[in-house]
């Protein structure tokens, strides 16, 4: 099992961003399926394509380890016979440093490395970086969806 953390900035107030995570996830997914992508530049391609795989995902509310804060858990399983690993983690939104109109989306969790010992060796060599780029891509798409959903309220300010 490998552990991973990724963060992305979103131009949206923290309380609003937190309330828009689930609607934004619905916007970038199709039912229970979500596309996870490896950006093309990570795999050495210089064109705008990305490797994309579909996963079946779930989102649920839970309490953090202290039992004081509500957190959003996210997990996914690969669809079909693909090398996308299963993932379990926590998705949070916090205030960016001193900026009340910007938030940081953070995704932290762990994934099952596919492929046994060979898969573990590949993950240590480069798979972790691919997984991290995939997480950043997901958070970027989520941040853009949150910003798009926040447009009506930001135009009233």
Q: Where are the beta strands (DSSP E) in 11-69?
A: 29-30, 33-39, 50-63
Average pLDDT for the chain:
83
Q: What is the mean pLDDT of residues 129-144?
A: 90
Query: Binning pLDDT at 50, 70 and 90, where does residue 156 land?
Result: very low
Pair type for strands 87-96 and 33-39: unpaired
Distance, CA of 117 to CA of 109 (rounded, Å): 21
3-state SS, one letter per residue, for 80-107: CCCCCCCEEEEEEEEEECCEEEEEEEEE
DSSP string, 112-157: PPSSHHHHHHHIIIIIHHHHHHHHHHHHHHHHHHHHHHHHHHHTT-
Helix H or strand E encompassing 25: helix 14-28
72 pLDDT more than 50: yes
Contacts of 137 (CB under 8 A, 6+ apart): 36, 37, 38, 39, 50
This prediction has a pTM of: 0.83
Q: 39-56, pLDDT tens digit by residue? A: 766 555 555 555 788 889
Q: Give 49 or 11, the one with higher predicted confidence.
A: 11
Q: In angstroms, how far apart are the furthest CA atoms of the chain? A: 55
Residue 79 is classified by DSSP as: S
- Fold of the domain spanning 2-154: Alpha-D-Glucose-1,6-Bisphosphate; Chain A, domain 4 (3.30.530)
Distance, CA of 62 to CA of 145 (rounded, Å): 23
Distance, CA of 29 to CA of 6 (rounded, Å): 19
Q: 15-44, pLDDT tens digit by residue? A: 899 899 999 999 999 988 998 887 766 555
């Amino acid at each position: 099992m490998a552990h991973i953390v990724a963060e992305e900035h979103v131009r949206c107030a923290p309380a609003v961003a937190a309330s828009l995570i689930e609607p934004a996830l619905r916007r970038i997914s199709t039912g229970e399926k979500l596309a996870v992508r490896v950006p093309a530049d990570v795999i050495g391609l210089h064109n705008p394509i990305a490797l994309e795989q579909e996963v079946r995902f779930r989102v649920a509310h839970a309490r953090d380890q202290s039992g004081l804060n509500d957190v959003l858990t996210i997990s996914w399983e690969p669809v079909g016979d693909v090398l996308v690993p299963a993932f379990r983690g926590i998705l949070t939104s916090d205030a960016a440093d001193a900026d009340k109109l910007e938030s940081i989306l953070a995704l932290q969790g762990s994934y099952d490395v596919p492929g046994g010992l060979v898969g573990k060796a590949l993950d240590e060599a480069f798979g972790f970086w691919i997984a991290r780029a995939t997480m950043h891509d997901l958070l970027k798409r989520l941040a853009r969806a949150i910003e798009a959903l926040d447009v009506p309220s930001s135009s009233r300010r």
